[in-house]
């Protein structure tokens, strides 16, 4: 364990070079490695905690759009360190929940409004969602960006999933009632007293009072929502004047920090097919990109709309220790979910047989381990406010 008195020399070897503005990435060829290069802890001017904080801050600055993720030149080859050939184990949860769930292609799905959402809700998927939460928190270092003040009263989390974000918000804001809504009853029973969950379809009319919520939040629901303008309008009606809505959405298409990814890269092909399958099912997976969510919010009447974009590395190619871990998490999340993500869009949306999906996934799994293309996906944080005056 790191003692609180442990220190590093102030000339920490991982300090990234000054970044040229507008450049997309930089390669550090110094052969140093953030884990192996660190000298034994010794007395000096910078404490280990300070160095960690500095690295956290550098991670945010490098990941934010317009910044530049410094590449670890030791880690841009093919990384075989992680294998995920795991097949589904949906049957493990069958006994306890057979009445509430539907089963398809060996995975468990929601039963309420069956078929509405195209991804599983079984234990494997829930673990993956919680890991995604940890990854986003590590990258953003906060649960929300909208300036909701210190004492929000009513918070709504749309598509709450396992409820992990809602529970942590309940802990952080004891003043608030936090309500999480989802199609699936997969939230824990033991939660803070100010947190509640409800099974409902957020794209159906809401029973909540109008002019009520201080803050409405939704994260990782771009693969679920069919009608964003309608959801924005409904949220606006149910926010109190001055209340905030925030979305945290990944644009699920791999970009390459140095433009080296060929169009026929299996990971790009995979996401193009998922996009096609979802489009056939009435969902626009590209809604996150090109400032579209922010534009829709403005058109709907929100004010003070802001957007922040963070680049999530896929794999371990980033030099910064935090971003390297974020990249490892994200690749693990994508690999663990490779089948869960593909099955619904490709079987329901494109008419593929399950066997064809499995066959296709073999090459995609391998391709995820190729660090050389410096792959990343952008995470879009978009928030806006209901005007104070009646609209
Ligand atoms: C990818 S998960 C994200 C979970 C959570 N927001 C998080 O970030 O940890 C998407 C969730 O949205 C839920 N969902 C999808 N469509 C929905 C709808 N129409 N109404 C309510 N929940 C929905 C799904 O059941 C799923 O739990």
List residues near ligand 1 (CB under 6 A). Answer: 110, 116-117, 129, 133, 159-161, 164-165, 181-184, 201-203, 219-221, 224
Determine the distance separating the centroid of ligand 1 and the alpha carbon of 102, expressed in angstroms: 16
CB 44 within 8 A of CB 10: yes
Position 35 in a domain? no
Position 209 in a domain? yes
DSSP secondary structure code for residue 60 in this structure:
H
Number of structural domains, the chain? Answer: 1
User: What integer pLDDT is reported at residue 189 of this predicted model?
Assistant: 92
User: What integer pLDDT is reported at residue 390 of this predicted model?
Assistant: 61
How many CB atoms sit inside 10 A of residue 330's CB? 25
User: What integer pLDDT is reported at residue 27 of this predicted model?
Assistant: 55
Return averaged pLDDT per consecutive 10 residues of the chain, 391 residues in all.
Answer: 29 33 46 35 47 81 84 72 32 42 94 94 97 98 98 98 98 97 94 96 95 98 97 98 98 94 95 98 94 97 98 97 97 98 98 97 95 96 92 52
List the domain range (segments joined by +) for residue 265: 90-385
Per DSSP bridges, beta strands 69-72 and 177-182 are unpaired
Closest residue by CA, ligand 1 atom 16: 224
Position 121 in a domain? yes
Burial 29-60 (b: 16+ CB within 10 A, else e): eeeebbeeebeeeeebeebbeebeeebbebbb
Closest residue by CA, ligand 1 atom 13: 159
Position 22 in a domain? no
Determine the distance separating the centroid of ligand 1 and the alpha carbon of 345, expressed in angstroms: 16
User: What integer pLDDT is reported at residue 58 of this predicted model?
Assistant: 87
Position 150 in a domain? yes
Closest residue by CA, ligand 1 atom 20: 201
Closest residue by CA, ligand 1 atom 12: 159
Position 39 in a domain? no
User: What integer pLDDT is reported at residue 28 of this predicted model?
Assistant: 54
Position 219 in a domain? yes
Determine the distance separating the centroid of ligand 1 and the alpha carbon of 302, expressed in angstroms: 23
Per DSSP bridges, beta strands 101-104 and 46-47 are unpaired
Among 117, 281, 380, which is best to mutate for testing ligand 1, by the most ligand atoms less than 8 A from CB?
A: 117
Q: How far apart are alpha carbons 385 and 305 in whole angstroms? A: 7
Position 271 in a domain? yes
The closest-lying atom of ligand 1 relative to the alpha carbon of residue 164 is: 9
- Domain of 103, CATH number, reads 3.40.50.150
The verdict on pTM exceeding 0.85 is no
Q: How far apart are alpha carbons 256 and 64 in whole angstroms? A: 15
Q: How far is CA 77 from CA 326, 330, 372, in A?
A: 18, 17, 5
Closest CA to 391 of 294, 299, 277: 299
């Amino acid at each position: 364990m790191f003692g609180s008195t442990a220190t590093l020399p102030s000339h920490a070897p991982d300090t990234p070079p000054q970044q040229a503005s507008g450049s997309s990435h930089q390669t550090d060829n110094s052969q140093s490695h953030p884990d192996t290069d660190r000298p034994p802890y010794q007395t000096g001017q910078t404490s280990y905690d300070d160095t960690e904080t500095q690295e956290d801050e550098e991670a945010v600055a490098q990941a934010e759009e317009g910044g530049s993720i410094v590449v670890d030149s030791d880690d841009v080859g093919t990384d075989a360190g992680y294998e995920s050939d795991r097949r589904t184990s949906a049957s493990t949860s069958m006994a306890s929940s057979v009445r509430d769930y539907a089963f398809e292609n060996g995975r468990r799905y929601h039963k309420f409004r069956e078929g509405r959402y195209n991804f599983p809700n079984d234990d494997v998927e829930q673990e993956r969602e919680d890991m995604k939460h940890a990854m986003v928190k590590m990258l953003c270092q906060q649960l929300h960006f909208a300036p909701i003040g210190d004492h929000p009263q009513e918070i709504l989390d749309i598509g709450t999933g396992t409820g992990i974000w809602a529970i942590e918000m309940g802990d952080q804001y004891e003043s608030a009632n936090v309500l999480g809504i989802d199609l699936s009853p997969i939230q824990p029973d033991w939660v803070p007293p100010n947190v509640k969950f409800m099974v409902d379809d957020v794209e159906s009319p809401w029973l909540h009072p109008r002019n009520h919520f201080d803050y409405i939040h939704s994260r990782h629901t771009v693969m679920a929502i069919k009608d964003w303008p309608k959801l924005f309008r409904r949220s606006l009606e149910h926010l109190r004047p001055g209340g905030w809505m925030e979305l945290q959405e990944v644009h699920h298409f791999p970009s390459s920090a140095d433009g080296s990814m060929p169009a026929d890269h299996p990971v790009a092909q995979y996401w193009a097919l998922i996009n096609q399958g979802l489009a056939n099912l009435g969902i626009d997976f590209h809604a996150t990109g090109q400032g579209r969510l922010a534009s829709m919010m403005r058109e709907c009447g929100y004010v003070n709309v802001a957007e922040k974009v963070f680049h999530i590395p896929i794999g371990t190619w980033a030099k910064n220790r935090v971003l390297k871990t974020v990249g490892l998490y994200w690749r693990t999340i994508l690999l663990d979910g490779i089948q869960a993500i593909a099955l619904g869009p490709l079987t329901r949306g494109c008419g593929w047989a399950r066997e064809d999906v499995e066959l296709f996934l073999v090459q995609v799994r391998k391709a995820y381990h190729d660090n050389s293309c410096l792959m990343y996906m952008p995470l879009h944080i978009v928030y806006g406010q209901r005007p104070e005056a009646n609209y």
